Amino acid sequence: MTGLDPVSANRAFGGVQGVWKHASAATGTDMTFAVYIPPHDQGATLPVVWYLSGLTCTHANVMEKGEYRRACAELGLILVAPDTSPRGEGVADDPDGAYDFGLGAGFYVDATQAPYAPHYRMWTYVTEELPEIIGAHFPVDMGRQSIMGHSMGGHGALSIGLRHPDRFRAVSAFAPIVAPSQVPWGQKALGGYLGPDVAAWRSHDAVALIEDGARLPALLVDQGEADAFLAEQLRPHLLREACDRAGIDLTLRMQPGYDHSYYFISTFMDDHLRWHAARLG
């Protein structure tokens, strides 16, 4: 595959879990992503589910702990998991080394502020560059795409899905940051990457996008009631209120006893993939 370097490949549930690296034009760095290809007939093309990870994560977190391969093999779904930020020499990080900004915390936006603008272009990477690579090199039917994510990645999935409703047939999230303009994680990230003009943040805020007219037919969100970030950072009731006003069919499932971890995500991953598969055809 021209321009792609294989990192690893492992047989799983009759398919192949691969990891790939390439030089990204969007970020100006090397980027790594994971792709699970389920068993399929030669020449067949399959629907693709994009999974966006949360703060501090890479492609590896869901790949190692998400427990999606059995369902993907059964349902005939390709799953793609990109990294969460650019990495490497010369890539700016949070000046204080905090976990919620900089490396591992790209927030799926194209930064406009120094020193982040040259490399932090995760919106372009996830919505343009990586889909072109996946479409060119893997057996995907790009007419059947869906997207999901966790926490910061849930924010990314919701905002990308709301801005590209014709591309994604299904959108779901685990414990998403639904209104980043209104919570500390989002205010720090959007302010740092996009600058102080809060009007510029609205296109990367799911609740604001819905208020401004963006629509999807349906959303599925799972949220743990024991999540330590629920009240301050996640605030799913804001999404429920926005969807109610807009007439969007939101299924918001509050899960007693579950926290923010992959123990939570892996428990409900099968439900989400089946929800996606039903809409992908």
Hey, where are the domains in the chain? 4-280
- For 9-40, how does the pLDDT look when each residue is reduced to its tens digit (9 = 90+)? 999 999 999 999 999 999 999 999 999 999 99
Q: What is the pLDDT of residue 145?
A: 98
Q: What is the pLDDT of residue 2?
A: 61
What gap in Å lies between CA 249 and CA 281, rounded to an integer? 19
Q: What is the CA radius of gyration of the chain?
A: 18
Question: Which regions in the chain score pLDDT beneath 50?
Answer: none
Whether 270 is a known active-site residue: answer no
Q: Are 228 and 259 in contact (CB under 8 A)?
A: yes
Residue type, 228: A
Q: What is the pLDDT of residue 134?
A: 98
HEC readout, 230-281: HHHHHCHHHHHHHHHHHCCEEEEEEECCCCCCHHHHHHHHHHHHHHHHHHHC
Q: Give Cα 38 to chain centroid, integer Å.
A: 20
Q: What is the pLDDT of residue 98?
A: 97
pTM: 0.98
Whether 261 is a known active-site residue: answer no
Q: Which of 53, 146, 151, 172 is catalytic?
A: 151
Q: Which of 83, 100, 205, 227 is catalytic?
A: 227
Task: Please give the class, per CATH, of domain 4-280.
Answer: alpha beta
Q: Which of 119, 150, 155, 260 is catalytic?
A: 260
Q: Give Cα 94 to chain centroid, integer Å.
A: 21
Whether 197 is a known active-site residue: answer no
Q: What is the pLDDT of residue 245?
A: 98
